[in-house]
Structure 1
């Protein structure tokens, strides 16, 4: 089955796998299961707070 897949190429070289976290940093559950909109809102609020402290 894998022989049928096309390889993704970026600038004529095979693309490396994405470096993404599998587990949510807010609720410590798998990102593939469930709804993480609350986690996303918390993450966005933390980023706004960090930016306001830097300025």
Structure 2
């Protein structure tokens, strides 16, 4: 079975494993239950700020 797996490449480099958490890092609840729009918006703002800092360096 493992012989049949393809090596996925993104722009010529191997892909990293996806960072999929089942627990919300904001409210510590399961992400599959409840409404996480507020958590999602906060997470998006953080990622924009992080990208801006990385570009500035």
The two structures have a TM-score, normalised by structure 2, of 0.59
Q: Please, what is the CA RMSD of the aligned residues?
A: 1.9
Higher relative contact order, structure no. (Cα contacts within 8 Å, ≥ 6 residues apart): 1
Quick one: distance in 2 between partners of 1:22 and 1:47?
19
Counterpart of 2:29 in structure 1 is 29
Bigger radius of gyration among the two: 1
Unmatched 5+ stretches in structure 1: 1-11
Q: Runs of 5+ in structure 2 lacking a partner?
A: 6-17
The count of residues paired between Structure 1 and Structure 2 equals 40
Report what 2:44 is aligned to.
44
